[in-house]
């Protein structure tokens, strides 16, 4: 049973056909070695199927045999990115190094028996694939729902190609429509109170320090910083680049979870088993639609 190119229509009620050891993958010309992890990916449905389809399609198109340094993003869609990369086989993966955006992606890389590297060893990355909290039609994104956006932005900037993968719920006309908790802002802990005050003055009176769920006190990022979540009204969110520059000017702000003009493409897994691809030049492609 051949592994399907992820571009084939796979609707969310249909179990995804699984890669087998030694099979060729979608657009990627590999020889026929077994994947590093030979266990079969489990069947998924609904939102998970949409995430997997987006991830697989993006990997098939953008993680090519000549790519040797690969950035791995964070979030719930990224495990499917790693799954598909592993399915490309040990022959192609043995010469690659994978750079994580945080603790979660580091664990994914290690568990998949892929070679772990760091951005200080590899400041230029061939391709980074990452999730997002919301993406608008101009390919601006909110990221940082998992507090990873500082490292994610470093790996996005370092990459020759940065690609977003997500399910259809993240595909939005204006940022803030679907992801309502606000723009994540990473701040140096000792500066959080004045920064929060300034964020209120910049138009987000409901901005709050993100508190931990199973710990007393605030969320602490992988970089030992705090996170402010700042919801802004639609008129401000319609110009995310201006907002980004204003927020970054606040002393104490380490990084803002607005990623503007960075992505080459965003892949959204849809409910009907197709993928919507939003390209940098404004084109919208439907892959696998019937």
Ligand X SMILES: O=C[C@H](O)[C@H](O)[C@H](O)COP(=O)(O)O
Stretch that binds ligand X, among 67-75, 195-203, 225-233, 247-255 (CB under 6 A): 67-75
- Asked whether position 79 contacts ligand X by CB under 6 A, the answer is no
CB of 149 to ligand X, least distance (A): 5
In Å, how far are 68, 80, 153, 173, 263 from 159, measured between CA atoms? 12, 20, 10, 26, 10
Residue of 152, 173, 235, 255 marked catalytic: 152
CB of 145 to ligand X, least distance (A): 3
Binding pattern for the stretch 179-218 against ligand X, x by CB under 6 A and - elsewhere: ----------------------------------------
Q: Which two tokens stand for residue 150?
A: 């500082």
Q: Which two tokens stand for residue 259?
A: 């990623």
152 is catalytic: yes
CB of 95 to ligand X, least distance (A): 27
**Do the Cβ atoms of 122 and 116 come closer than 8 Å?**
no
Question: 139 CB contacts (<8 Å, ≥6 apart)?
Answer: 164, 261, 262, 263, 265, 266, 278, 280
Stretch that binds ligand X, among 69-77, 106-114, 223-231, 268-276 (CB under 6 A): 69-77
- CB of 83 or CB of 130, closer to ligand X: 130
- Asked whether position 73 contacts ligand X by CB under 6 A, the answer is yes
Please state the φ and ψ torsions of residue 211, each to the nearest 5 degrees: -100, 150
Rule CB under 6 A: which of 124-163 touch ligand X? 130-133, 143-149, 152
Query: Kind and range of the H or E element at 162?
Result: strand 159-167
CB of 266 to ligand X, least distance (A): 12
For 219-261, the three-class secondary structure string (H helix, E strand, C coil) is CCCCCCCEEEEECCCHHHHCCHHHHHHHHHCCCCEEEECEECC
- Asked whether position 176 contacts ligand X by CB under 6 A, the answer is no
Task: State the catalytic residues.
Answer: 152
Residues that bind ligand X (CB under 6 A): 73-77, 130-133, 143-149, 152
């Amino acid at each position: 049973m051949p592994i399907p190119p992820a571009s084939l229509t796979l609707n969310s009620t249909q179990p995804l056909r699984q890669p087998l050891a030694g099979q060729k993958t979608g657009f990627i010309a590999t020889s026929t070695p077994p994947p590093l992890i030979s266990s079969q990916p489990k069947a998924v449905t609904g939102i998970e199927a949409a995430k997997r389809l987006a991830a697989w399609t993006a990997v098939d198109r953008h993680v090519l045999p000549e790519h040797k340094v690969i950035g791995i993003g964070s979030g719930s869609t990224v495990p499917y990115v790693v799954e598909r990369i592993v399915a490309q086989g040990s022959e192609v993966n043995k010469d690659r190094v994978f750079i994580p955006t945080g603790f979660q992606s580091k664990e994914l890389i290690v568990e998949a028996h892929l070679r772990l590297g760091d951005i200080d060893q590899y400041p230029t990355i061939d391709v980074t694939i990452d999730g997002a909290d919301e993406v608008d039609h101009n390919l601006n994104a909110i990221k940082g729902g998992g507090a990873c956006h500082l490292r994610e932005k470093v790996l996005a900037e370092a990459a020759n190609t940065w690609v977003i993968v997500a399910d259809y719920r993240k595909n939005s006309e204006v940022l803030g429509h679907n992801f309502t908790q606000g723009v994540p802002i990473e701040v140096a802990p000792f500066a959080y109170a004045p920064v929060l005050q300034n964020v209120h003055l910049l138009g987000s009176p409901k901005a709050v320090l993100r508190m931990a769920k199973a710990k007393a006190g605030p969320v602490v990022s992988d970089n030992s910083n705090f996170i402010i979540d700042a919801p802004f009204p639609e008129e401000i969110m319609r110009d995310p680049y201006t907002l980004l520059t204003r927020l970054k000017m606040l002393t104490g702000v380490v990084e803002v979870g607005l990623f503007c003009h960075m992505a080459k493409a965003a892949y959204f897994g849809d409910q009907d088993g197709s993928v919507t691809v939003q390209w940098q030049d404004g084109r919208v492609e439907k892959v696998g639609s019937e």
